[in-house]
């Protein structure tokens, strides 16, 4: 019997099965002319028994669609030997999404980046279908293929249009297609329960199927699961029709037991908290049974676009030793950004210290900067989040770890393969946690280095400010004294009275102000700068704290975990092959038993690596970080207070100088007026009064300048108040 079959330009082997369905099968084939690998869909006798218009519908649909996210039609040819037409399509070497989800690595759903890729590609494919007034009617992971392009990109594509047909959004249909777990409840009632419901169905049934598929991709499980699966059909219908609006999952764990309703995605799925929030809203809209709340395609495409357009911003929450992901709207600004950080970290907006690339993040973006213009972050190069008030660092490892299964004493090739697959699933969970904690270990060292750099930069900046201020005060003192002396000389020339007492007091006062506000403040700044910039006290303290601690990057914990998982998967594949052969020879059974032993041993090793090496290591590192941050936070606060003191004094000094100079201008204007009156050839009584008035103004202005100078005693009081917290911080140290 020949396994080779062919058409005019293609040939395929019936042993190379890619998939089978009720109406036919898909085989891997090859183009006779250029050797290009292809997928060939053939049809069985049951398919040929369908009405002719139904048989050709798939051909018509495939000819109409042309999109990157829909499997490309290459040809429709007659099979040799007169077996009917075949559909030749591009070969998707990545397999179906169903098979991908069936891999133990994805037992709890796809990784976040891959999930977003599926969401983007499938919604784009569906958009193309709707633009052409087509409804798929059998959306499910088995009909979604993974294509690997020549440049290595992954592209997910819709396939199997055997149930597809043209349908306007406001049109209805009555025929039944689809897979029962993914069917809209109204279709399920008629197709599965066989109830004589006279309902018609619209194009939005695809949205329900997409919602179930999306939940499956996110979690690795179906959203609606009665106990016993398909045999419990009435409960399945009850779950999907009686659930409240906003409920995205319902599970029954015992025969006739209660339904566990859920409005959130499970904690064990691989999506971050930041993405879960948006995906949950999307699922709630897609899995809506209330006819008044069912989404339109337009609403669906809008919501998906809203998710995909958000900017991913990586945050490392130092106080919890935890990586956080913010999906930020491109038009939102800094206030919304801080609010979203607070939602995920519990660090109040006013207490957030955000550092990025050795700088404060608020110095990189402005309050009004839209999210689309925020700098790119990476998981290994995030924004570091510290708290101003909370200097505790607490590491809370994930507590729920699935249990490694144990093999029974007797050998069963059927059950052993399933147990091995479960062991691989648990092993992948351990591996992901080990990788995550290893990244946190490295980020902890990085955050210490960045915080220390920022503190050093701030202390250097304050020192430079202080030196600049000292120069400005000296210059201002000389200028003011010069003004005062010139003013006194003018008064002496005009009145014949010499008064240097005020000048001496002003000069003494300025010297005192300069000493207390500049020298004393400068001393505190210089001491901090010397200790933490020149002598690098914080860096040395961190080196002391972590000396002797196990470094996960040096022990290569993540790399070891990946090696162990490969061993587990090799053993699982071995047991899968044994299951396929059914009967084992004596020697084969001995090797089978050895693989079972190997799975148990490797599982124990990877679990021990996580629980006895990685978690204790990151816990000790967190404790060291807590000790270090208590010290460094104090230095940081001192630097901020000193910076504020310098700025405050600079502002007050500028105001004081401006007041004195203004008074000096007015003073000399009065002198000029008095001189003009005195030089007049005839002094009338009225002019004499004006002259006396001018003299009074001069003396008044002189007193005003003196009062202004004495008012700067308030600066001294303010300085004492500002430096009080510094003294308290020193006392705490």
Residues present in the chain in total: 733
> Residue 15 class from Cβ within 10 Å (0-12 exposed, 13-18 middle, 19+ buried)?
exposed
- The answer to whether 279 and 271 are in contact (CB under 8 A) is yes
- The C-alpha atoms of residue 175 and residue 164 are separated, in whole angstroms, by 11
> DSSP class of residue 565?
H
- The answer to whether 452 and 631 are in contact (CB under 8 A) is no
Phi, psi angles (nearest 5°) of residue 285: -75, -40
**Any long-range contacts for 162-165 (C-beta under 8 Å, 24+ apart)?**
162/21, 162/23, 162/57, 162/58, 162/138, 163/136, 163/137, 163/138, 164/57, 164/58, 164/61, 164/129, 164/134, 164/135, 164/136, 164/137, 164/138, 165/57, 165/61, 165/134, 165/135, 165/137
103, 138, 206, 570: the catalytic one is 138
> Strand, coil or helix: what is 228?
coil
Those residues whose C-beta lies under 8 Å from the C-beta of residue 666, and which sit 6 or more positions away, are 701
Question: Mind spelling out the 3-state secondary structure of 716-732?
Answer: HHHHHHHHHHHHHHHHH
- The C-alpha atoms of residue 609 and residue 432 are separated, in whole angstroms, by 12
> Strand, coil or helix: what is 402?
coil
Q: Annotated catalytic, 138?
A: yes
Task: Report H helices in 18-172.
Answer: 45-48, 52-64, 97-102, 112-131
- The C-alpha atoms of residue 17 and residue 23 are separated, in whole angstroms, by 14
Where do we find the tokens 């999109």?
67
Structure tokens at 620: 């000790």
Residues designated as active site: 138
């Amino acid at each position: 019997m020949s396994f080779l079959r062919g058409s005019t330009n293609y040939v395929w082997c019936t042993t190379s099965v890619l998939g089978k369905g009720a109406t036919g099968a898909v085989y891997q084939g090859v183009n006779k002319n250029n050797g290009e690998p292809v997928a060939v869909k053939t049809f069985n006798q049951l398919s040929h028994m369908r009405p002719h218009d139904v048989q050709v519908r798939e051909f018509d649909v495939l000819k109409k669609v042309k999109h990157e996210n829909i499997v490309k039609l290459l040809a429709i040819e007659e099979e040799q030997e007169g077996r009917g037409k075949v559909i030749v399509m591009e070969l998707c070497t990545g397999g179906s999404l169903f098979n991908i989800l069936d891999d133990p690595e994805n037992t709890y759903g796809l990784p976040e980046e891959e999930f977003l890729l599926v969401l983007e590609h499938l919604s784009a494919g569906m958009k193309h279908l709707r633009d052409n007034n087509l409804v798929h009617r059998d959306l499910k992971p088995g009909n979604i293929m993974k294509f690997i392009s020549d440049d290595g990109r992954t592209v997910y594509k819709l396939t199997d249009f055997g149930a597809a047909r043209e349908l306007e959004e406001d049109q209805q249909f009555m025929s039944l297609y689809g897979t029962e777990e993914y069917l809209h409840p109204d279709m399920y009632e008629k197709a599965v329960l066989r109830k004589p419901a006279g309902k018609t169905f619209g194009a939005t049934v695809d949205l329900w199927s997409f919602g179930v598929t999306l939940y499956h991709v996110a979690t690795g499980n179906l959203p609606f699961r009665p106990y016993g699966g398909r045999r419990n059909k009435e409960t399945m219908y009850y779950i999907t029709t009686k659930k409240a609006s906003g409920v995205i999952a319902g599970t029954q764990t015992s025969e006739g037991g209660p339904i566990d309703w859920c409005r959130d995605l499970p904690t064990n799925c691989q999506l971050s908290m930041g993405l879960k929030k948006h995906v949950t809203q999307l699922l709630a809209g897609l899995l809506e049974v209330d006819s008044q709340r069912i989404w339109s395609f337009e609403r669906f495409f809008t919501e998906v676009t809203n998710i995909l357009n958000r900017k991913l911003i990586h945050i490392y929450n130092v106080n919890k030793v935890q990586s956080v992901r913010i999906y930020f709207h491109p038009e939102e600004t800094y206030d919304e950004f801080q609010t979203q950080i607070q939602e995920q970290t519990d660090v109040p907006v006013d207490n957030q210290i955000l550092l990025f690339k050795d700088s404060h993040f608020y110095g990189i973006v402005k309050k009004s900067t839209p999210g689309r213009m925020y700098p790119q972050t990476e998981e290994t190069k995030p924004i570091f989040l510290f708290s101003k008030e909370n200097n505790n660092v607490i590491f809370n490892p994930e507590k729920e770890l699935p249990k490694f299964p144990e093999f029974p004493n007797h050998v069963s090739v059927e059950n052993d393969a399933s147990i091995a697959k479960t062991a691989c699933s648990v092993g992948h969970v351990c591996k992901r946690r080990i990788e995550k904690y290893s990244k946190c270990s490295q980020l902890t060292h990085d955050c210490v280095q960045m915080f220390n750099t920022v503190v050093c930069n701030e202390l250097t900046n304050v020192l430079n400010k202080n030196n600049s201020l000292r120069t400005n005060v000296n210059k201002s003192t000389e200028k003011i004294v010069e003004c005062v002396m010139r003013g006194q000389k003018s008064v002496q020339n005009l009145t014949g009275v010499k008064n240097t007492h005020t000048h001496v007091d002003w000069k003494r006062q300025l010297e005192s102000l300069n000493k207390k506000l500049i020298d004393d403040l400068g001393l505190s700044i210089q001491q901090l700068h010397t200790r933490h910039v020149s002598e690098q006290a914080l860096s040395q303290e961190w080196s002391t704290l972590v000396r002797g601690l196990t470094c996960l990057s040096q022990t290569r914990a993540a790399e070891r975990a990946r090696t162990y998982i490969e061993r587990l998967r090799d053993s699982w594949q071995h047991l899968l092959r044994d299951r396929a052969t059914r009967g084992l020879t004596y020697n084969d059974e001995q090797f089978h038993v050895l693989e079972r032993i190997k799975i148990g041993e490797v599982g124990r090793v990877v679990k021990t690596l996580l629980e006895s090496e990685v978690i204790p290591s990151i816990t000790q590192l967190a404790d060291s970080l807590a000790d270090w941050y208590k010290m460094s936070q104090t230095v940081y606060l001192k630097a901020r207070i000193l910076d504020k003191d310098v700025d405050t004094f600079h502002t007050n000094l500028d105001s004081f100088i401006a007041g004195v100079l203004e008074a000096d201008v007015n003073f000399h204007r009065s002198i000029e007026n008095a001189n003009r009156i005195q030089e007049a050839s005839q002094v009338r009584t009225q002019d004499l009064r004006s002259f006396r008035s001018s003299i009074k103004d001069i003396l008044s202005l002189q007193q005003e300048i003196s009062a202004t100078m004495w008012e700067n005693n308030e600066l001294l009081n303010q300085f004492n108040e500002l430096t009080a917290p510094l003294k308290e911080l020193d006392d705490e140290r």
